Amino acid sequence: MAPKLPLHHPVEQSSTANAGGQAAAHPAPRYGIKRWLLTTNHKEIGSLYLIFSLTMFFIGGTFAMVVRAELFQPGLQLVEPEFFNQMTTMHGLIMVFGAIMPSFVGLANWMIPLQIGAPDMALPRLNNFSFWLLPVAFTLLLSTLLMPGGGPNFGWTFYAPLSTTYAPPSTTFFILSLHIAGISSILGAINIIATVLNLRAPGMRMMDMPLFCWTWLITAFLLIAVMPVLAGAVTMMLMDINFGTSFFNAAGGGDPVLFQHLFWFFGHPEVYIMILPAFGIVSAIIPTFSRKRLFGYASMVYATGAIAILSFMVWAHHMFTVGMPLTAELFFMYTTMLIAVPTGVKVFNWVATMFRGSISFEPPMLFALAFVVQFTIGGFSGLMLAISPADFQYHDTYFVVAHFHYVLVPGALFAILAAAYYWLPKWTGHYPNLRLAQWHFWLSVIGVNLTFFPMHFAGLAGMPRRIPDYALQFADFNLASSLGGFLFGASQLLFVWLIIKCVRGGEKAPAKAWEGAEDLEWSVPSPAPLHTFEHPPTFRHESK
Amino acid sequence: MWSVIKSVLAAFFGVQKDARRREDFEKGRPVAFVAVGILMGLALVGVVALVAVAAAR
Amino acid sequence: MRTCIVWIAGCLVVPLTTTLAMANGWNMPVGVTDVSREIHSLHMTIFWICVVIGVLVFGVMFYSLFRFRHSKGVKASHFHEHTLVEVIWTAIPLLILVGMAVPATATLKKMYDPADADLDVMIIGQQWRWRYEYLGEDVAFTSNLGTPRETVRGEGERGEHYLREVDEPLVLPVDRKVRFLMTSDDVIHSWWVPDLAVKQDTIPGFVNENWVRINEPGVYRGQCAELCGIDHGFMPIVVHAMEEEAFDEWLAERKEAAAQEASGVDREWGLEELMARGEESYNAVCASCHQPDGGGNAPAFPALAGNQALMEERERHVETVINGVSGAAMPAFRNTLSPVEIAAVITYERNAWGNETGDVIQPSDIAERLAD
């Protein structure tokens, strides 16, 4: 399904460019596969990212379905424990690195230039390169499933020495694929920073930017800071496996816990990399459909910055049970509790934006509202997990699984879906089918809560994560989770159908597709022509 | 200098008066804010660490 | 309108589910130690704080969604900043968190004080079983999954303690402070019994400490909490907490049995009895990788049945079982199994499933090798 972007933008739709100047500025359009392989256009690359992440979402989702099917009832029915471990691992890796992160980059590619009035990303060729690294990385990663000994089976956190001394032979390929995906992320982040800092429309100050640009700017700095740490950690693994070093091998004088420190120094900011852009999206959608300006714009920016800085100081709260000294436990408990404050401020601001607004419930708003509620539930369980003594009971159980899925599925993923519904009129020129979108929303909400809410109970009752079979007292929770999982998985097919319909036709959308939408992207026609803002728009200051 | 520290503190807390913010953005030098921000970030780590050490006694 | 009704119905689900959460088997167990009780009360405190904040925030949100609907013709107002309100809603959570940090710190300090223990137990994680050593008492044993593999595959009835039963439970006294010293022979495991509120990673090359003082006799069940390979889901923990006298009696019995087992090393063993003993140990320890029929699970776990190299190289076979294969999944069993068990397993592997070498490995030979 190739999105139907206009090859040449029709002259009558272009508000800014003149046809003569254009022929000189742009090379002759390419057709077919070459168009997509060689494109340097931010909209085409954005679409590629989005289609790629949707594909990965369904591959990772299929793995999750295998996991849920095996856990449907006690006993081993469908798969061997060895394959089960590969499924849980690949589900995590694909969803984190292949679905959530690239979809945010795709949204950034499409929307940041439109929101700041730039003609394209600052570094278009780099942009092409950073996208095309991804299919390479993930083809490599998925191919490990077909190798002798199977693919990665040590969890997406790949703790040493399970992932080094005791790992399957394919681990070296897994490391290489993470390297490639990491390079792609870093290049994408550099591009976004360069774009946001340099290509804003004349007169647009930093504090005039839509919050999506702000959150992505901060996310990009996080990416640049932590991806090299991940690269370092996996390189040390590579050396341990292939070159006889002993970074993580206690028998050779190494330290397995060092791996966890390195991983979570990357991993915790990574968690915020997956949620900060979602904050930006929701901060665009809620004001639009409340017909009221975002409450506390400045404090939202500050809170994002605070979360980003604090995210570097909390990593060891993932390691409360590894036997750290008491002082370290206390330090990480305190910093983790602190991080709840700026996160709370965000939620309060969204609610205050809705208060005394004029609210309507179009599909993007539905998903954004569900995001606020369910992300907050995930935040609450996060607060509980921060209490170090209690974490000794929660750690590595389904309570943790419930927590991070609440943050990532009805959190980050719902924000991505909200963004898709919000900007589909801009991308395709058509409104998405309302009835279909409502079905998609309600089935997703029911499915996601049926899947993940019972996991809280299973975890508290004592079910550890990553087990292929379980004691009988967990059977009911798992039955509910599996049914919910199948419902949620199936209802995402509606979304694909809806996108195909929306690309092909539907109610025509005007330039300003939503009544309350204010940002710059709504000043260009719908669908957005291939080249926009070739002459910078005049940015009108609002009284801030 | 004192006003820079006050602004950074306000940013740590997350709330700042609009007028003060505008003044910072118009008159302040970014380098000063970044430098003070980094120092205060380190100070925050130090303070929390001290509290943790004291509590662990 | 319809949307709002569904949202409000959603609100009702929250109190309903919290009530259910209080029901037995849906919540964290209160447990049987002072620490576990404290942790449970911390858990409930923070839970109710979250519920109250949630009701307030979602209450305002759903009120706004209902009251300020565009479809009712409401006009939006234009405020978008209010310094005082922002200060208040930043400060209040901060204060709540400080209030929460104080009792949490106190509990954590208790958990970190293993001093003055009456009994030291070494807990060693191994793929995929637990080994317990009563330090200074010469009593040590491994504790394997008690549920038969066939039951996991669906043959026969699943009992009440399916996957949470072992061949030999860890036996502990009540009312005595027991210190755990925890380590691992291979990958990282995590020893967890919810009722005791002990969850501690066992890390190869490092020794972690934790402790427990059990208040009530009983049987407490848990399992490994850190992904440790294929059979991560199949390494349960059962703790049998006994009254002090009963425990002392049990310990004395075990000491005597251990002394007898040691003397068994010196006598000559026959093929039959070694095979019987070997089959028992093989199924408990080796079968999860090399399979009960010796078919293995290539490439990580080679087949033993019909393995020509194994049958021809007796010396290498013995060496592999005792010292493991460095850099591969095969662990060393020199500290895990007794000389009798090692001899029996090797004899079994060399004579079962049509591997009819006729070799008999004597425990005394193994003991000699282990002594080197």
Q: Domain coordinates of chain C in residue numbers?
A: 2-73+82-111, 119-148+164-263, 265-371
Distance from CA of A313 to the nearest CA of C (A): 17
| Probe site for chain C from B12, B13, B15 (most C CB atoms < 10 A) | B15
Lowest mean pLDDT across A234-238, B20-24, C210-214, C310-314 = B20-24
- What mean pLDDT, rounded, does chain A reach? 91
Q: Using alpha carbons, list the distances in angstroms from residue C39 to A320, A384, A403, A477, C46.
A: 14, 11, 19, 24, 11
- pLDDT over threshold 70, residue A1: no
Residue C85: the pLDDT is 86
Instruction: Determine the residue type at C227.
Output: L
Its domain, for residue A244, covers: 11-523
Structure tokens at A338: 């602190």
| Total number of domains constituting chain A | 1
User: A193 falls in which pLDDT band (50, 70, 90)?
Assistant: very high
Lowest mean pLDDT across A2-11, A345-354, C265-274 = A2-11
On chain A, the residues whose CB falls within 8 A of the CB of C29 are: 461-462
H or E, element range at A85: helix A81-93
pLDDT digit string (tens) for A40-79?
Answer: 999 999 999 999 999 999 999 999 999 999 999 999 999 9
On chain C, the residues whose CB falls within 8 A of the CB of A462 are: 29, 194, 222
C286 vs A65, more confident: A65
User: A366 falls in which pLDDT band (50, 70, 90)?
Assistant: very high
User: A23 falls in which pLDDT band (50, 70, 90)?
Assistant: very low
Q: Domain coordinates of chain B in residue numbers?
A: 2-56
- pLDDT over threshold 70, residue A10: no
pLDDT digit string (tens) for C118-134?
Answer: 999 999 999 899 999 99
Cβ neighbours of residue A34 under 8 Å, at least 6 residues apart?
Answer: none
pLDDT digit string (tens) for A142-177?
Answer: 999 999 889 999 999 999 899 998 999 999 999 999
Burial of A257 from C-beta contacts in 10 A (0-12 / 13-18 / 19+): buried
Residues C87-109: what's their mean pLDDT? 92
What is the four-CA torsion angle of A350, A353, A354, A356, rounded to 10 degrees?
150
Residue A5: the pLDDT is 44
Q: Using alpha carbons, list the distances in angstroms from residue A340 to A373, A391, A484.
A: 16, 16, 29
- pLDDT over threshold 90, residue A485: yes
Instruction: Give the up-direction half-sphere exposure of residue C280: CA atoms within 13 A in the CB hemisphere.
Output: 12
Q: Where in the sequence numbering do the catalytic residues of A fall?
A: 91, 120, 156, 184-185, 268, 270, 272, 283, 317-318, 343, 346, 465
Alpha-carbon span C144 to C234, nearest angstrom: 9
Q: Tell me what percent of the residues of chain C surpass a pLDDT of 90.
A: 51
- pLDDT over threshold 50, residue A24: no
What letter would DSSP give residue A431? P
Structure tokens at B44: 């925050």
pLDDT digit string (tens) for C184-238?
Answer: 999 999 999 999 999 999 999 999 999 999 999 999 999 999 999 999 999 999 9
Residue A6: the pLDDT is 43
User: A7 falls in which pLDDT band (50, 70, 90)?
Assistant: very low
Mind giving me the DSSP string for C285-297?
IIHHHH-TTS--B
Q: Which CATH superfamily is domain C265-371 in?
A: Cytochrome c-like domain (1.10.760.10)
Alpha-carbon span C351 to C340, nearest angstrom: 16
Alpha-carbon span A109 to A114, nearest angstrom: 9
Q: Is C113 on the interface with B (CB under 8 A)?
A: no
pLDDT digit string (tens) for A73-127?
Answer: 999 999 999 999 999 999 999 999 999 999 999 999 999 999 999 999 999 999 9
User: A538 falls in which pLDDT band (50, 70, 90)?
Assistant: confident
What CATH number has the domain bearing residue A221? Answer: 1.20.210.10
Mind giving me the DSSP string for B8-49?
HHHHHHT---HHHHHHHHHHS-HHHHHHHHHHHHHHHHHHHH
User: With contact defined as beta carbons under 8 Å apart, do C305 and C353 qualify?
Assistant: yes
Residue C339: the pLDDT is 86
* B26 → chain A, closest CA residue: A205
User: C19 falls in which pLDDT band (50, 70, 90)?
Assistant: low
- Cβ of A207 within 8 Å of Cβ of B53? The answer is no
* C61 → chain A, closest CA residue: A351
A538 is a domain residue: no
Note which residues in 315-354 of chain C have CB less than 8 A from chain A: 327, 329
A541 is a domain residue: no
Residues C232-253: what's their mean pLDDT? 95
Q: Using alpha carbons, list the distances in angstroms from residue A253 to A161, A249, A423.
A: 13, 7, 54
Residue A199: the pLDDT is 93
A531 is a domain residue: no
User: A207 falls in which pLDDT band (50, 70, 90)?
Assistant: confident
A4 is a domain residue: no
- pLDDT over threshold 90, residue A181: yes
Q: Which residue has the tokens 């990303």?
A: A121
pTM: 0.88
pLDDT digit string (tens) for C43-88?
Answer: 999 999 999 999 999 999 999 999 999 988 888 888 877 888 888 8
Cβ neighbours of residue A386 under 8 Å, at least 6 residues apart?
Answer: A317, A333, A336, A337, A340
Residue C296: the pLDDT is 84
Residues A347-360: what's their mean pLDDT? 93
Distance from CA of C315 to the nearest CA of A (A): 25
- pLDDT over threshold 70, residue B36: yes
pLDDT digit string (tens) for A411-449?
Answer: 999 999 999 999 999 999 999 999 999 999 999 999 999
CB count in 10 Å sphere of residue A361: 20
Alpha-carbon span C192 to C232, nearest angstrom: 13
Tell me the CATH architecture of domain C2-73+82-111: Orthogonal Bundle (1.10)
Q: Write out the residues of chain B at the interface with chain A, using a CB-CB cutoff of 8 A.
A: 11-12, 14-16, 18, 21-22, 25, 41, 45, 48-49, 51-53, 55-56
A47 is a domain residue: yes
Residue C12: the pLDDT is 57
pLDDT digit string (tens) for A390-413?
Answer: 999 999 999 999 999 999 999 999
- pLDDT over threshold 60, residue A534: yes
Alpha-carbon span C333 to C315, nearest angstrom: 16
* B47 → chain A, closest CA residue: A331
Q: Tell me what percent of the residues of chain C surpass a pLDDT of 70.
A: 93
Residues A350-373: what's their mean pLDDT? 95
Cβ neighbours of residue B11 under 8 Å, at least 6 residues apart?
Answer: A302, A305, A306, B37
> What would you measure as the largest C-alpha separation in chain B, in angstroms?
47
C236-242 and C170-173 strand pairing: parallel
A40 is a domain residue: yes
φ/ψ of residue A269, rounded to 5: -55, -35
Q: What ipTM was assigned to the predicted interfaces of this complex?
A: 0.89
Residues C152-173: what's their mean pLDDT? 91
H or E, element range at A542: none
A532 is a domain residue: no
Short-list A42, A53, A413, CA closest to A194: A42
Q: Chains that contact B by 3+ CB pairs under 8 Å?
A: A, C
- pLDDT over threshold 70, residue B51: yes
- pLDDT over threshold 90, residue A206: no
Alpha-carbon span C19 to C21, nearest angstrom: 5
Q: Is A330 on the interface with B (CB under 8 A)?
A: yes
- pLDDT over threshold 90, residue A276: yes
Residues A506-532: what's their mean pLDDT? 92
A98 vs A24, more confident: A98
User: B16 falls in which pLDDT band (50, 70, 90)?
Assistant: confident
Residues C9-21: what's their mean pLDDT? 57
A244 is a domain residue: yes
CATH of C119-148+164-263, one of 2.30.300.10, 1.10.10.10, 2.60.40.420, 3.40.50.720: 2.60.40.420
Residues A535-542: what's their mean pLDDT? 76
Q: Which of A290, A321, A330 sits opposite C200 (nearest CB)?
A: A321
C337 vs A376, more confident: A376
Residues A192-207: what's their mean pLDDT? 92
The length of chain C in residues reads: 372
